[in-house]
């Protein structure tokens, strides 16, 4: 797919790091500054979760007990903020993501010699991560977890870079439990070495341009920095680590370098998971810190686990383009949405209904588009697919439960799906929630014009 001609205008060129993103959110009324003092234990996450739930903007916590460092949360936890992050209109999010995910559109990172995070450095025996403001988020969590860091690694054979997310529980001043599913690229990398058990270098980048955060959530066999470059329309600047030979985003607020110890395992967990429950404890590799660097006046960044941003980055933004491609194979005007409240298991398809059986065909296509998609609801154009109450209205007033629902038992889903078996086998369900004129004639739907209440109340 070719790049649009006006790409440089559309791709948020003013956003080069977290600070410029915060400024862009502020200008758009999408930033909530929190001046009141909050505790790192539970309170910060409670307020950040409430902000996300009420669409109150991204949170910039300016006054946190025991630290001078502010904390930023919820940067990409709504369609409005995803659009600002991607430098586009809300209606163009899937297009921009689709173009950025196209391998031929990738733009390689650019290596530079110095980064602002060289301004402050702690190395060796002095390392004590207790000065970092790492929150204990949810009441069911097993301790203080780094959740908003992007793990940067390098393929020891091919040399390509990789970005991803790994929850990390602080075990001691310079060690963390590092959660990693076996099939993640970082695991494949360390196992591909002659001595797979040897310490493996990685870096954690915290406080980033959201293009890098969004790219890091994509599962792909290429360096995700190419995707971040494609989003921005320019190569992302990177700088070598001080103690590890890895190219790290140069505009990061904070960088933590060190080595994974694949065989030195310790229990870590539980942590609020993407499916909305607390996960179990894992016996995970440990991560030993060799260097911490940060910009002057750094901003720490956290993703509230098991909440909107976690789902947006991991499930919504990287998968909607794929889902749309599958569905548009059958209906080239259909629109799609993976609502964050459905944890990546629910997909909504919006169509101009024609043939009575088409909605069910579309639901089958959606089920096959991604292993996680289990429930599919098809609605008409007069239903706002971004509003949960609208979906409920369609389910209540347009579904005949004997005729409009079908299920596929024994289908493969995600092994962490709470209603599937331990191996992820479960039942996928398609619901045709479109209006069936052939069944019974109704008039048109009641609708009132949108107005600005401030014009009437003040
Ligand atoms: C907020 C967030 C937290 C995540 N935490 C973990 C984790 O703890 N362990 C893990 O293996 N994957 C985790 N993931 C999933 C992956 O790291 C991520 O989606 C990434 O794309 C992995 O792709 P890769 O195998 O290409 O590196 C998380 C994803 C997100 C968005």
pLDDT in tens, 302-325: 999 999 999 999 999 999 999 999
- Calculated CA dihedral for residues 223, 224, 227, 232, nearest 10 degrees: -110
- CB proximity list for 103: less than 8 A, separation 6 or greater: 222, 226
pLDDT digits (tens, 9 = 90+) for 321-361: 999 999 999 999 999 999 999 999 999 999 999 999 999 99
Count the Cβ atoms, other than its own, within 10 Å of residue 385.
20
Q: Report the separation in Å between the CA atom of 175 and the middle of ligand 1, taken as the mean of its atom positions.
A: 20
- Position in ligand 1 atom list of the atom nearest CA 148: 1
Q: What token pair was written down for 24?
A: 């862009």
Residue nearest to atom 7 of ligand 1 (CA): 166
Q: Determine what percent of the chain is predicted with pLDDT higher than 70.
A: 98
Q: Report the separation in Å between the CA atom of 148 and the middle of ligand 1, taken as the mean of its atom positions.
A: 11
Alpha-carbon distance 167 to 149, whole Å? 8
- CB proximity list for 369: less than 8 A, separation 6 or greater: 319, 322, 323, 325, 326, 327, 347
pLDDT digits (tens, 9 = 90+) for 119-166: 999 998 889 999 999 999 999 999 999 999 999 999 999 999 999 999
pLDDT digits (tens, 9 = 90+) for 370-413: 999 999 999 999 999 999 999 999 999 999 999 999 999 999 99
- CB proximity list for 20: less than 8 A, separation 6 or greater: 14, 209
- Position in ligand 1 atom list of the atom nearest CA 305: 1
- Position in ligand 1 atom list of the atom nearest CA 184: 25
Q: Report the separation in Å between the CA atom of 119 and the middle of ligand 1, taken as the mean of its atom positions.
A: 29
Q: Where along the chain do its domains lie?
A: 7-313, 319-432
**Is the model's pLDDT at 13 over the cut of 80?**
no
Alpha-carbon distance 410 to 425, whole Å? 6
- Position in ligand 1 atom list of the atom nearest CA 303: 1
Q: What token pair was written down for 207?
A: 């406080």
Q: Is 457 exposed, middle or buried (0-12, 13-18, 19+ CB in 10 A)?
A: exposed
Q: Report the separation in Å between the CA atom of 166 and the middle of ligand 1, taken as the mean of its atom positions.
A: 6
Does 7-313 carry CATH code 2.102.10.10? no
Q: Report the separation in Å between the CA atom of 189 and the middle of ligand 1, taken as the mean of its atom positions.
A: 15
Q: Report the separation in Å between the CA atom of 328 and the middle of ligand 1, taken as the mean of its atom positions.
A: 28
pLDDT digits (tens, 9 = 90+) for 40-57: 999 999 999 999 999 999
Do 415 and 423 form a contact (C-beta atoms < 8 A)?
yes
pLDDT of residue 5: 41
Q: Report the separation in Å between the CA atom of 305 and the middle of ligand 1, taken as the mean of its atom positions.
A: 12
**DSSP output for 291-332:** EEEE-SS--EEE--TTSHHHHIIIIITTTHHHHHHHHHTT-T
Q: Report the separation in Å between the CA atom of 150 and the middle of ligand 1, taken as the mean of its atom positions.
A: 9
Mean pLDDT in residue range 275-288:
95
- Position in ligand 1 atom list of the atom nearest CA 224: 26
Q: Report the separation in Å between the CA atom of 105 and the middle of ligand 1, taken as the mean of its atom positions.
A: 23
- Position in ligand 1 atom list of the atom nearest CA 168: 8
pLDDT of residue 357: 96
Q: Is 296 exposed, middle or buried (0-12, 13-18, 19+ CB in 10 A)?
A: exposed
Q: Is 243 exposed, middle or buried (0-12, 13-18, 19+ CB in 10 A)?
A: middle
Question: Which of these CATH numbers, 3.40.50.300, 3.30.390.50, 3.30.413.10, 3.40.1670.10, describes 319-432?
Answer: 3.40.1670.10
Do 343 and 311 form a contact (C-beta atoms < 8 A)?
yes
**DSSP output for 327-344:** HHTT-TT-EEE--GGGTT
Mean pLDDT in residue range 238-255:
98
Q: Which pTM was predicted?
A: 0.95
pLDDT digits (tens, 9 = 90+) for 71-80: 999 999 999 9
Alpha-carbon distance 223 to 48, whole Å? 31
Residue nearest to atom 23 of ligand 1 (CA): 219
Which of 165, 313, 370 has the most ligand 1 atoms within 8 A of CB, as the residue to mutate? 165
Among the residues of 125-249, which ranges form H helices?
A: 185-191, 210-216, 224-232
Which protein residues are within 6 Å of ligand 1, measured from CB?
A: 162, 164-167, 179-181, 184-186, 217-220, 303, 310, 313-314
Mean pLDDT in residue range 243-271:
97
Q: Report the separation in Å between the CA atom of 80 and the middle of ligand 1, taken as the mean of its atom positions.
A: 23
Do 286 and 264 form a contact (C-beta atoms < 8 A)?
yes
Strands (E), 381-424: 405-412
**Is the model's pLDDT at 6 over the cut of 70?**
no
Alpha-carbon distance 11 to 143, whole Å? 38
Q: Report the separation in Å between the CA atom of 180 and the middle of ligand 1, taken as the mean of its atom positions.
A: 8
Do 278 and 141 form a contact (C-beta atoms < 8 A)?
yes
Q: Which of 370, 348, 347, 376 is nearest to 424 (CA)?
A: 370
Residue nearest to atom 17 of ligand 1 (CA): 165
- Position in ligand 1 atom list of the atom nearest CA 163: 27
Q: What token pair was written down for 23?
A: 């400024």
Q: Which of 222, 241, 207 is nearest to 100 (CA)?
A: 222
Which of 178, 190, 217, 221 has the most ligand 1 atoms within 8 A of CB, as the residue to mutate? 217
φ/ψ (deg, to 5) at 178 = -115, 105
Residue nearest to atom 15 of ligand 1 (CA): 165
- Position in ligand 1 atom list of the atom nearest CA 165: 17
Residue nearest to atom 19 of ligand 1 (CA): 217
**Is the model's pLDDT at 265 over the cut of 50?**
yes
Q: What is the mean pLDDT of the chain?
A: 95
239 membership: H or E segment, kind and range: strand 237-240
Do 211 and 15 form a contact (C-beta atoms < 8 A)?
yes
- The owner of tokens 């976690």 is 310
Q: What token pair was written down for 164?
A: 């991803």
pLDDT of residue 11: 66
Q: Report the separation in Å between the CA atom of 50 and the middle of ligand 1, taken as the mean of its atom positions.
A: 24
Which of 164, 178, 192 has the most ligand 1 atoms within 8 A of CB, as the residue to mutate? 164
**Is the model's pLDDT at 209 over the cut of 50?**
yes
Beta bridge partners of 110: 237
Alpha-carbon distance 251 to 299, whole Å? 12
């Amino acid at each position: 797919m070719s790049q649009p001609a006006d790409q440089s205008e559309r791709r948020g060129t003013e956003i080069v790091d977290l600070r410029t993103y915060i400024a862009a959110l502020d200008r758009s009324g999408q930033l909530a500054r929190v001046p009141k003092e909050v505790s790192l234990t539970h309170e910060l996450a409670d307020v950040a979760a409430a902000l996300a739930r009420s669409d109150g903007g991204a949170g910039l916590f300016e006054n946190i007990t025991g630290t001078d460092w502010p904390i930023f949360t919820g940067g990409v936890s709504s369609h409005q903020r995803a659009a600002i992050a991607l430098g586009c209109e809300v209606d163009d999010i899937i297009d921009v993501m689709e173009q950025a995910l196209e391998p031929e559109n990738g733009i390689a990172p650019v290596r530079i010699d110095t980064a602002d995070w060289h301004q402050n450095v702690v190395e060796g025996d002095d390392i004590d991560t207790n000065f970092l403001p790492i929150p204990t988020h949810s009441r069911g969590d097993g301790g203080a977890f780094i959740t908003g860091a992007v793990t940067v690694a390098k393929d020891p054979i091919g040399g390509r870079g990789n970005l991803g997310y790994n929850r990390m529980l602080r075990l001691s001043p310079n060690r963390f439990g590092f959660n990693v599913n076996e099939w993640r690229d970082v695991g494949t990398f360390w196992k591909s070495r002659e001595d797979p058990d040897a310490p493996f270098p990685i870096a954690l980048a915290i406080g980033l341009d959201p293009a890098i955060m969004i790219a890091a959530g994509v599962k792909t066999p290429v360096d995700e920095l190419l995707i971040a470059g494609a989003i921005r329309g320019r190569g992302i600047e990177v700088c070598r680590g001080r103690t590890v030979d890895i190219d790290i985003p140069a505009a990061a607020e904070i960088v933590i370098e060190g080595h994974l110890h694949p065989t030195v395992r310790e229990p870590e967990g539980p942590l609020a998971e993407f499916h909305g429950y607390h996960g179990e404890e894992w016996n995970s590799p440990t991560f030993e810190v060799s260097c911490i660097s940060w910009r002057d006046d750094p901003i720490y960044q956290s993703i509230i686990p098991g909440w909107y941003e976690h789902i947006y980055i991991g499930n919504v933004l990287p998968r909607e383009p794929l889902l749309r491609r599958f569905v548009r194979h059958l209906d080239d005007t259909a629109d799609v949405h993976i609502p964050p409240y459905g944890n990546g298991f629910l997909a909504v398809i919006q169509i101009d209904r024609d043939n009575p059986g088409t909605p069910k065909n579309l639901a089958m296509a959606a089920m096959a588009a991604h292993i996680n998609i289990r429930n599919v609801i098809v609605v008409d154009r007069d239903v706002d697919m971004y509003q949960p109450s609208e979906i409920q209205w369609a389910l209540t007033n347009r579904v005949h439960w004997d005729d409009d629902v079908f299920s596929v038992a024994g289908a493969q889903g995600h092994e962490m799906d709470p209603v599937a078996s331990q191996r992820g086998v479960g039942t996928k369900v398609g619901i045709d929630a479109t209006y069936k004129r052939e069944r019974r004639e109704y008039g048109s739907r009641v609708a009132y014009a949108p107005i600005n209440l401030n014009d009437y109340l003040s």
